[in-house]
Amino acid sequence: MTPGMADMAWLNPPPHHTFGNGTLIVRTAQETDFWRETFYGFWRDNGHFLYRSVEGDFTAEVTVKGDYKVLYDQAGLMLRLAETHWIKAGIEYTDGLAYFSVVVTNDTSDWSLVSIAAGKDGVRIRLTRHAEAIRVQYLDAADGHWKPVRLAYLPISKTVDIGMMCCSPQREGFEVTFSDFTIGPAISRDLHD
């Protein structure tokens, strides 16, 4: 197992995954997702999530590269307190394009999308916990700056689960590579350069 991933646990292990040199490659199971009620009227909690529990404030990052082909193929980072309280952020395929997607769930889910230019080497994603505030960013490969996408609320707790998430709500076999996953001290609370 890759250093840093050895003590992580699966929620809903995928049918296929391999660890490499700083990488995790996953192929998803049939019709996997994380969603609660809003608009669609269903609850799903069967997406794949490799995580560890962390106390206090922190910043987590990962680079995500996927073979996005089918509606709602998605991969990124997830922050989770329980089935009813979580945030997932990453790249999601919709309307023929890969968007930066964020779902915040506090009992029910919401969804936001931002159009970005995903490079051939994937997208670097960052989640930072500052008490009850979760800052969502991605690294813009064109200018090398972290771009803000969302400042979201998640209830305060002593610990929270953080890790890599992927789903394929309309198929099986979506393949994604996660690389250079890190968890470290929270970045500065300054929101603007």
Per-residue pLDDT band at 7 (split at 50, 70, 90): confident
- How many CB atoms are located within 10 Å of the residue 190 CB? 6
Q: Which of 54, 73, 82, 44 is nearest to 181 (CA)?
A: 54
Asked: is 9-184 a CATH 3.30.420.40 domain? The reply is no
Sign of torsion over alpha carbons 35, 119, 13, 131: negative
Per-residue pLDDT band at 1 (split at 50, 70, 90): very low
Residue 130 burial by Cβ neighbours in a 10 Å radius (0-12, 13-18, 19+): middle
pLDDT of residue 103: 98
- Cα gap 171→164, rounded to integer Å: 19
23-57 pLDDT tens trace:
999 999 999 999 999 988 889 999 999 999 999 99
Compute CA 82 distance to the chain's CA centroid, rounded to the nearest angstrom: 15
Is pLDDT of 151 > 70? yes
Sign of torsion over alpha carbons 33, 100, 153, 4: positive
In this structure, which amino acid lies at residue 117? A
Task: Give, as one character, the DSSP assignment of residue 187.
Answer: P
Per-residue pLDDT band at 4 (split at 50, 70, 90): low
61-108 pLDDT tens trace:
999 999 999 999 999 999 999 999 999 999 999 999 999 999 999 999
99-143 pLDDT tens trace:
999 999 999 999 999 999 877 899 999 999 999 999 999 999 889
